[in-house]
């Protein structure tokens, strides 16, 4: 358990209410990102979420609105505590626009979760098409860098913030036929450790492995045996508690939910 987690449990034991946070999560259209967004909203935190699919964004907006009926029935768009919109982490210009939108909405995040990710179809390196390899690199690595590029200055100006870069067990070990994915998650680990040395006081960046969760990506690798593992919905409460507990004392750490 981290120092931050210890503080959280002590606060809970003493009945101290947790301060409400604004949390930016990329890749909220499905899987871990969607489950985490809904869990945080249930706890009363504000969520900034982005993904590429307009239909799935609208679905999440509807589910979040059902958790806050007063905002949903209000004629004022500012009544909603959440900002859920389309953006493509692979595109620097798209994330630049997202950052501008966030500033205009006055919802500067306290926590950023770089969750958007994809994986290559099981294949040996020489059989992974170049376009597929590029897609994994562009989403998992460049997507994380694009968020850092445009949002870290906002957190630095705010003088506090926690960045969680979603890693993987395969960012600390390796397996056959997922070389593109392994390469990106090892890179996320290295990127995190380097950026941790660049941050001013008040900020921290952490590499976080979610553990093994039954998502579409796991099904891609494991097939039907993916169903033997926990669902995103059962994972999200524990993950949310851990992420909310992180402090600057965790800067540079590689952790696992």
Is-catalytic flag, 181? yes
The HSE-up count of residue 62 (CA atoms within 13 Å, CB side) is 7
Cβ pair 175, 182 in contact under 8 A: yes
Dihedral class, residue 175 (left if φ above 0, else alpha if ψ from -120 to 50, else beta): beta
* Region for residue 15 given its phi and psi (left: phi exceeds 0; alpha: psi -120 to 50; beta: otherwise): left
Task: Give the bridge partners for 166, in sequence order.
Answer: 208
Give the 3-state secondary structure of residue 118: coil
Size (the chain), residues: 257
Q: Which of 151, 181, 186, 235 is catalytic?
A: 181
CA distances 195 to 31, 36, 188, Å, are 27, 24, 10
| Residue 165 neighbours by CB under 8 Å, 6+ apart | 114, 144, 188, 191, 192, 205, 206, 207, 208
The pair phi, psi for residue 74, each rounded to 5°, is -80, 145
Rounded to 5 degrees, φ, ψ at 38 are: -65, -40
Q: Are strands 161-166 and 111-114 parallel, antiparallel or unpaired?
A: parallel
Q: Which residue has the tokens 């593109």?
A: 180
Distance (Å, whole) CA 19 – CA 62 = 25
Catalytic positions:
181
């Amino acid at each position: 358990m981290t120092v931050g987690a210890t503080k959280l449990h002590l606060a809970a034991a003493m009945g101290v209410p947790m301060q409400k946070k604004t949390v930016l999560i990329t890749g909220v259209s499905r899987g871990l990102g969607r489950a985490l967004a809904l869990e945080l909203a249930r706890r009363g935190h504000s969520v900034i979420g982005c993904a590429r699919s307009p239909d799935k964004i609208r679905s999440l907006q509807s589910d979040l609105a059902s958790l806050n009926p007063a905002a949903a029935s209000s004629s004022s768009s500012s009544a909603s505590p959440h900002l859920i919109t389309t953006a493509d982490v692979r595109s620097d210009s798209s994330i630049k626009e997202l950052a501008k939108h966030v500033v205009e909405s006055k919802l500067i995040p306290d926590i950023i979760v770089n969750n958007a990710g994809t994986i290559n179809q099981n294949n040996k390196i020489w059989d992974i098409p170049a376009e597929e390899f590029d897609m994994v690199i562009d989403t998992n690595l460049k997507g994380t860098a694009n968020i850092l590029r445009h949002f870290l200055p906002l957190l630095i100006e705010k003088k506090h913030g926690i960045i969680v870069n979603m890693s993987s067990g395969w960012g600390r070990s390796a397996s056959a036929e997922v070389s593109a994915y392994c390469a990106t998650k090892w890179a996320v680990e290295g990127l995190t450790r380097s950026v941790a040395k660049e941050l001013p006081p008040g900020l921290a960046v952490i590499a976080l492995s979610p553990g093994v969760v039954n998502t579409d990506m796991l099904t891609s690798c494991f097939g039907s045996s993916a169903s033997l593992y926990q669902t995103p919905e059962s994972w999200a409460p524990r993950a949310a508690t851990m992420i909310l507990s992180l402090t600057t004392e965790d800067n540079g750490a590689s952790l696992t939910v």
